[in-house]
Amino acid sequence: MIDSQVRREPAIQVEDLEYAFGEAEARKVVLDGIDLSLAAGEFAIMTGPSGSGKTTLLSLIGALRSPQQGGLRVLGRDLSRLGAARGGEAGDLEAFRRRLGIIFQLHNLFPALTAFQSVQMSLDLHDLSVEEKDARIEGILAKLGLEERFDYKPERLSGGQRQRVAIARALVHEPELVLADEPTAALDAENTEIVLELLRELARKRRTSVLMVTQDARVFEAADRLVHLVDGRIVSDVQTG
Amino acid sequence: MVPIAEQAPLGGHRRVELTVRGNASIALSWRLLLHQPVRLVMSAAGIAFALLLMSLQLNFRNALLDSSTELIRQLDADMLVMDDEKDPFLSRDNMPVVRMFQAQSVRGIQAAHPIWMDLMFWRNLETGLERPIRVIAVDPGDPVFVDDELNVALARLAKPGTALVDRRSRSGYGSLSPGPAQVDRHPLEIIGTFSMGADFEVDGNMIVGYETLLDLQGVNRADPEAILLHVEPGLDLERMAQEIAGVVPGDVRVLTKERLLERDLEYWRSETPLSVILLVGVGLGFAVGVVICYQVLYTEVLDHLEEFATLKAMGYGDEFLRRVVVAEAWFLSVLGFVPASIVALLFQRMLGSMTGLAVHFSWFASGSVFILSIGMCTAAGILALAKIRSLDPAELM
């Protein structure tokens, strides 16, 4: 459920965010004073060399890690207070994660589940009728060129097809925010364009915000913004087009 | 149970319902197990092995208890008078026959029947080998057993030198058909059979008349092992037992048949090393089962660590993942229990016929093994959950 007041504030609001791995002498700062704001419906691409902190920032925004220092509000929630362990309500961490669509570098599909069932696992977390679920699953798999692969388990799918199933799983519930880590690395040009069109459509129709980490120059022009990180700092943040 | 509801083909593609309300955790766990059928069979076989161990130990223990109290069960009596030190009932301690008359003097006693017992050597006429056999002696005509047909046959033991032999005695006794036999070097004639079975002391039984017993023992008189008492209907047995105990001297004790059974069961349960060893065997089988099931579940969790972490990142809670693992444990428990029960049944029949022991199917034992199976796999599942608890979806990135 999306509160209209919440949607007026940025989807992502990062203020002076710091994050470090290790302690004492082994402490390594990977994010150092990050400020970033992403509006609802905005499509941003984050680039940077390996170790620049892109993935760590993505995982913090996705509530997969807990912030250590600085402000981090996502979809109207202060992530430093999310989850029972941090003073939040029991189950609010899971509820928050259901509002996101995270695409990982690796597909992480259950080998025992078909493409249809894998996508269904995502929709099962949402209160929809069976008919609505079926229509959505079939629709998104068809859009991603997998209409003949509903019954296929990962072992019978190519790398690109598996990745598309994972993308369908992340997008089928029409999330408010999509976080994608190199989603097009395993895709050819045609399928990359299909995925980008899906993301654009979500941004346009559902005001879904998209933050994508990628080194794939083919997708840069699809974004509204390009954010460049180096050594845990944002060194450039430019509007495209 | 197949928790997955197959739905009608949709757009030409068969699919499987996995809704949360349709117990997605159970459906997922079943599909995860089914995905690797060879591993599933091996896992179920491992768990079945542990359950088979437990099942056999439990049934042997039950056989020990049943066979050791079978004679008491077959005796027709409201209460019994026996030597004070006769514990358990199968031990041989006789008592002065005068105690029977003293007990009979109590008002309300309808009948009193003495029985005698001894351990002698039966000669297998086919092999010439001798084996110990329990000889139970009765006054021919006394209805001392609950089996009416057997009581009728007892009357025929009035003829000296005749005997009934236990047809469930072990095979080492040779032919048990009516005909000549030899016990303690005395010739006997077998005139019929009855059913009692071996126990953990002797492999066979026979019944003779009192006169025949004296001939076999070479004595003029013998003191009985126990007196079987029948009381008038409607009387309180416990009170009657106390009343008789007040009349007879302290060298004998009076117990109702029910109390005697309880006492002997307790003796065989707790006083015999074999019973304790068999219980320890059940415990060891349980421990082996926990280890096997844990290994299976741990490997299963380890193989799907990234997928489980992805579920957490998608918004599934730890509770869902716990249910998946516990459901897998329960499926394994049932899949192990079914073959274990079948094999255990076959083993029991085979061993029962080999040993003559009353090793038979028992719903109670089977139910106990099923509960142990669920407990064993649940314990293993809880141990395997430690890995789930440490799952960090951030590691996916």
- DSSP calls for B81-110: EEETT--STTS-----THHHHHHHTSTTEE
B-contacting residues in A 151-210 (Cβ below 8 Å): 151, 153, 169, 181
The whole-number pLDDT of residue A1 equals 44
Q: What is the C-alpha separation between B107 and B379, in angstroms, rounded?
A: 59
Residue B8 touches chain A, beta carbons under 8 Å: no
Sequence letter at residue B355: T
Look up residue A205 and give its two tokens: 């129709």
Tell me what the mean pLDDT of segment B224-236 comes to.
95
Q: Are B73 and B62 in contact (CB under 8 A)?
A: no
Of B304, B306, B394, the CB nearest to A59: B394
Interchain proximity A150–B13, CB inside 8 Å: yes
Cis before B3 (ω within 30): no
The closest alpha carbon to B340, from B379, B297, B293, belongs to B293
Q: Which residues of B touch A97 (CB under 8 A)?
A: 312-315
Q: Which residues of B touch A110 (CB under 8 A)?
A: 28, 31-32, 304, 307
Q: Which residues of A touch B16 (CB under 8 A)?
A: 114, 117
A65: closest chain B residue by CA = B394
Strands A28-38 and A77-78: unpaired
Interchain proximity B315–A124, CB inside 8 Å: no
Residue B13 touches chain A, beta carbons under 8 Å: yes
Q: What is the C-alpha separation between B275 and B278, in angstroms, rounded?
A: 5
Interchain proximity A106–B396, CB inside 8 Å: yes
The closest alpha carbon to B116, from B157, B78, B148, B173, belongs to B157
For tokens 């493409």, the residue is: A115
pLDDT band at B89 (very low <50, low <70, confident <90, very high): very high
Q: What is the C-alpha separation between B263 and A58, in angstroms, rounded?
A: 72
Look up residue B107 and give its two tokens: 């008002």
Interchain proximity B304–A169, CB inside 8 Å: no
The closest alpha carbon to A105, from A151, A153, A50, belongs to A50
Q: Are A63 and A79 in contact (CB under 8 A)?
A: yes
Of A55, A91, A110, the CB nearest to B397: A55
Look up residue B60 and give its two tokens: 């042997």
The answer to whether residue B20 scores a pLDDT higher than 70 is: no
The answer to whether residue A84 scores a pLDDT higher than 80 is: no
For residue B188, list its beta bridge partners. B181
The answer to whether residue B105 scores a pLDDT higher than 90 is: yes
Interchain proximity A55–B306, CB inside 8 Å: no
The whole-number pLDDT of residue B357 equals 73
Query: Can you list the positions of beta strands (E) in A136-208?
Result: 177-181
Name the helix (H) or strand (E) containing B68: helix B37-68
Of B35, B316, B396, the CB nearest to A108: B396
pLDDT band at A9 (very low <50, low <70, confident <90, very high): confident
Q: According to DSSP H, which parts of B155-272 are helical? A: 210-217, 237-247, 257-266
pLDDT band at B358 (very low <50, low <70, confident <90, very high): low
The closest alpha carbon to A146, from B31, A133, A156, belongs to A156
Q: Which residue has the higher pLDDT, A23 or B164?
A: B164
Q: Which residue has the higher pLDDT, A24 or B381?
A: B381
Q: A85 to chain B, minimum CA–CA distance in Å?
A: 14
Q: What is the C-alpha separation between B333 and B393, in angstroms, rounded?
A: 30
The whole-number pLDDT of residue B17 equals 52
Q: What is the C-alpha separation between A208 and A210, in angstroms, rounded?
A: 6
Q: Indicate the range of A225-234, B80-89, B167-176, B357-366 predicted with least confidence.
A: B357-366
The closest alpha carbon to B114, from B153, B144, B89, B146, belongs to B144
The whole-number pLDDT of residue A97 equals 95
Look up residue B259 and give its two tokens: 């109390």
Residue B24 touches chain A, beta carbons under 8 Å: yes
The whole-number pLDDT of residue B283 equals 93
Q: A31 to chain B, minimum CA–CA distance in Å?
A: 16
Look up residue B303 and give its two tokens: 């193989």
Contacts of A206 (CB under 8 A, 6+ apart): A174, A176
The answer to whether residue B127 scores a pLDDT higher than 80 is: yes
pLDDT band at B12 (very low <50, low <70, confident <90, very high): very low
Q: Which residue has the higher pLDDT, B396 or A170?
A: A170
Q: Which residue has the higher pLDDT, B248 or B361?
A: B248
The answer to whether residue B5 scores a pLDDT higher than 80 is: no
If you count residue pairs, one on A and one on B, with CB atoms under 8 Å apart, how many are there? 93
Q: Which residues of A touch B312 (CB under 8 A)?
A: 97
Tell me what the mean pLDDT of segment B292-309 comes to.
92
Helix (H, G, I), strand (E, B) or coil at B390: coil
Max distance between CA atoms of chain A, in angstroms, equals 57
Of A112, A150, A169, the CB nearest to B35: A112
Interchain proximity A117–B10, CB inside 8 Å: no
Interchain proximity A110–B11, CB inside 8 Å: no
Of B15, B304, B306, the CB nearest to A117: B15
The answer to whether residue B114 scores a pLDDT higher than 90 is: yes
Q: Are A142 and A165 in contact (CB under 8 A)?
A: no
The answer to whether residue B165 scores a pLDDT higher than 70 is: yes
Residue A66 touches chain B, beta carbons under 8 Å: no
Interface ipTM above 0.95: no
Interchain proximity A110–B304, CB inside 8 Å: yes
Q: Are B57 and B278 in contact (CB under 8 A)?
A: yes
Digit-coded pLDDT (tens) for B313-349:
999 988 999 999 999 999 999 999 999 999 998 988 8
CA-CA-CA-CA torsion sign (B184, B189, B190, B196): negative
Tell me what the mean pLDDT of segment A89-96 comes to.
87
Of A102, A112, A151, the CB nearest to B313: A102
Q: Indicate the range of A107-111, A223-227, B92-96, B388-392 predicted with least confidence.
A: B388-392
Q: A189 to chain B, minimum CA–CA distance in Å?
A: 24
For tokens 């009932």, the residue is: B89
Interchain proximity B10–A124, CB inside 8 Å: no
The answer to whether residue A161 scores a pLDDT higher than 60 is: yes
Q: CA dist B51 to B37, B62, B342, Å?
A: 20, 16, 11
